[in-house]
Amino acid sequence: MSKALTIVFALCFHQLVATRATGRYRFGITHFKNFTLEIINNTLYMDMITAKTIHRGLKVLIDVQLSLDKGKSYQRLFAHILDCCAVVSSVKTNLFKSSFESMLKRGNFMYNCPVPAGVYFLHDWKLDSHLVPHYMLPGDYCVTAHFFYGKHKSKQEDVVLDLDVYALLRAK
């Protein structure tokens, strides 16, 4: 599951530098014993203890928004639901797979699903600017990731984790 966290951060930094980045999170206690996320000097630190195996079927809704009025309100640029295990186990290289591979150097993530319960981390990670879409312009961004099992916005939805990352990006 932590592999999919890459997607959130991968969408924020193509030929851009974050001059301010903050994050917040909410996690389901049935899925995690502990979860922490810090962004210090534009560097990501994440530690988590999963309470149970993360199995196939985990999805993430990625929502990328840009503020047109200095953080007062955000406009959606795009939103997409991805199957986390499919992205990671895919042979085909794409933005999401490339971003995950960059995280492997700074964390102890699994290469495939299922992911056994345990301790996972990502320390001292900065995203390479070449991994981000060229259409991301300088500005004030909010990127949210909603991890879940089941059908989104239904009675069957099982919320795993919600992440919000705010970043003010400027051109290099």
Question: Mean pLDDT over all residues of the chain?
Answer: 80
Distance of CA 41 to the CA centre of its chain: 18
Residue 93: CA count within 13 A, CB half-sphere: 5
Where do the domains of the chain lie, and which CATH numbers do they carry? 2-171 (2.70.220)
Could you tell me if 125 and 107 are in contact, meaning their C-beta atoms sit under 8 angstroms apart? yes
Which pair of tokens denotes residue 23?
Answer: 């994050």
The structure's pTM equals: 0.82
24-79 per-position pLDDT tens digit: 899 989 999 999 988 887 788 999 999 999 999 999 999 999 998 776 789 999 89
Question: Would you list the DSSP string of 31-67?
Answer: TEEEEEEEEETTEEEEEEEESS-B-TT-EEEEEEEEE
CA distance 58 to 150: 8
**Which 3 state secondary structure label does DSSP give 70?**
coil
Single out the residue of 77, 51, 86, 59 nearest to residue 132, CA to CA: 77
77-99 per-position pLDDT tens digit: 989 999 988 877 776 666 666 77
